Structure 1
Amino acid sequence: MTEILVCILIGYLIGTLSPSAIIGKIKHINLKKEGTGNLGAMNTMLMVGKRFGALVMFFDILKAFLAVKLAQKIYPAFYLAGIITGASAVVGHVYPFYMHFKGGKGLAAFGGAILALKPGLFLFLLSLGFGLMLIFNYSVALPMSAGVLFPIIYGFQTKDLATILIAVFMSALIIIKHASNITKAKEGKDNKVREYLSKNFGKKK
């Protein structure tokens, strides 16, 4: 029981660290009220700039990655240390206690946890998700595909009920937080990937 509580605390507290909120304060922009209203990489990118958005994404991935590795270092014999800490980091990112439990949507932290647990699976889900984003032209394709496939593949790899249930919990949170983007995509209001990439990373004449 002690190991579980410590892993939850490590993951949650590290997960609450919000580079998006810090950048927002520096730039005098309240990202909880501007843009999408989420304290995450995408809203930072839209409201502050792609470089700051990339920085937020990197840090959000890193914090979950390090949280998982720290827990595994502390409890090397506790096989659930990584997945419990990873799930808690996602919860901390989405529901930070010191910001009235209003954070980001958890995708980057979700990715960081998967990267720490199964690097190969992370690369597969990222590549597949990015490919689907380009095909369907909507950013919601990545979180939805990763959310659906992660517990299936991870569960098949581990074949452990407790691990599978925690993975399902993580994925369900990601899917729920991004569900509104499906409605936006149907209405043509979700972020269009190809247009965004062309505008921000295409060749300038």
Structure 2
Amino acid sequence: MEIGIILLTLAAYLFGAIPFGLLVAKSRGVNIREHGSGNIGATNVFRVVGKGWGIFTFTLDALKGFIPAFFFSKIGELPFEWGVLFGMAAIIGHTFPVYLKFKGGKGVATSAGMLIGIAPVAVAVGFLFWVICLVLSRIVSLASIIAAIAVGITVWVEGEKPVAVKIALSILSLLVVWLHRANIKRLMNGTESRFGKKKEAKV
């Protein structure tokens, strides 16, 4: 069983490391790392390549978290909580992809996908906070940070999940906030870009 867990964890990491944002943008003739924020995530694809391609990228990145979290424990006939490990491995893969010298995205979409597979109530609360914050501020990074914090709190309030699962999801929330540290500096300086305000023309 130990070998099976190691192999599933490795598979989750490698699956999560697939840079869908980079590949989607490249299919449109754009090197996403040279435009916008330079990030390979769905938000930058949305801004630089277009709305539909951004949504498509978000869906693919979310599936990178959902599939390992929801299905891999079933494949290995393992208890539910192992899905957290596999989902976390996918998020680490997205954030630190071996294919891109460990320079990846911020893991918001992949984290959301993982949470849908593990804690759907928490992700629903997080999504609600994300929408409200985005509507009020029009700042995607701020909405993502608030949503991550909301998820981290919700997992301790709802349900009868094992403490290990709650701790893991809280760590995930903190990771998402930490990965937005550059955005937090821009927010404090008042220089963070707002959704719908183009800083660069489409390529």
Deviant stretches of 4+, over 6 Å: none
After superposing the two structures, state which structure 1 stretch, 56-65 or 155-164, moved more: 155-164
Task: Using the TM superposition, give the Cα deviation of residue 46 of structure 1 relative to its aligned residue in structure 2, in angstroms.
Answer: 1.4
Could you tell which deviates more after superposition, 106-115 or 168-177?
A: 168-177
| Structure 1 residue 37: Cα displacement | 1.2
> How many residues end up aligned between the 2 structures?
196
Classify the secondary structure of the residue corresponding to 1:140. Answer: helix
Match of 2:101 in 1: 100
The CA deviation at 1:139 is 1.5
Structure 1 CA distance for aligned equivalents of residues 117 and 193 of structure 2: 28
Measure, in 1, the Cα distance between the counterparts of 2:5 and 2:189.
Answer: 43
Where do 1:17-96 residues align within 5 Å?
Answer: 17-96=18-97
Matched, 1:131 2:142: no
Give the 3-state SS of the residue equivalent to 2:180 in structure 1: helix
2:117 is equivalent to residue 116 of structure 1 = yes
TM-score normalised according to structure 2 size: 0.86
Q: Indicate if the aligned counterparts of 1:75 and 1:81 stay in contact, CA closer than 8 A.
A: no
Cα separation, 2, equivalents of 1:131 and 1:176? 22
Q: Residues of 1 paired with 2:176 and 2:125: CA distance?
A: 18
AA in 2 matched with 1:129? W
| CA deviation after TM superposition for structure 1 residue 108, in Å | 0.3
Which whole-Å CA distance do the structure 1 matches of 2:35 and 2:25 have between them? 10
* TM-score after normalising by structure 1: 0.85
2:182 equivalent in structure 1: 180
Contact preservation (8 Å) 2:155, 2:169: yes
**Structure 2 unmatched runs, 5+:** 198-203
Query: Deviation per CA, 1:175-205, whole angstroms, max 9, x where unpaired?
Result: 1111211222233332323x45xxxxxxxxx
Instruction: Specify whether residues 146 and 158 from structure 1 end up closer, same or farther in structure 2 by C-alpha distance, changes over 3 A only.
Output: farther
Equivalent-residue separation in structure 2 for 1:119 and 1:167 (angstroms): 12
Aligned-pair CA distance for 1:8? 2.1
Does 1:168 pair with 2:149?
A: no
CA distance in 1, matches of 2:8, 2:168: 13
Q: Distance in 2 between matches of 1:61 and 1:106?
A: 9
Q: Give, in angstroms, the shift of residue 52 of structure 1.
A: 0.9
Residue 76 of structure 1: how far off its partner (Å): 4.0
Distance 1:54 1:159 in 2: 31
Deviation for aligned residue 1:78: 2.0
One-letter identity of the residue aligned with 1:191: S
- Matched to 1:178, the amino acid is H
Look up the equivalent residue of 2:102 and give its one-letter code: F
Aligned residues: CA RMSD:
2.1
Q: Cα gap change, 1:112/1:130 in structure 2, threshold over 3 Å: closer, same or farther?
A: same
Question: Which consecutive unaligned segments of at least 5 residues does structure 1 have?
Answer: 197-205
Q: Percent identity?
A: 25
How far the C-alpha of 1:83 sits from its partner, in A, is 0.8
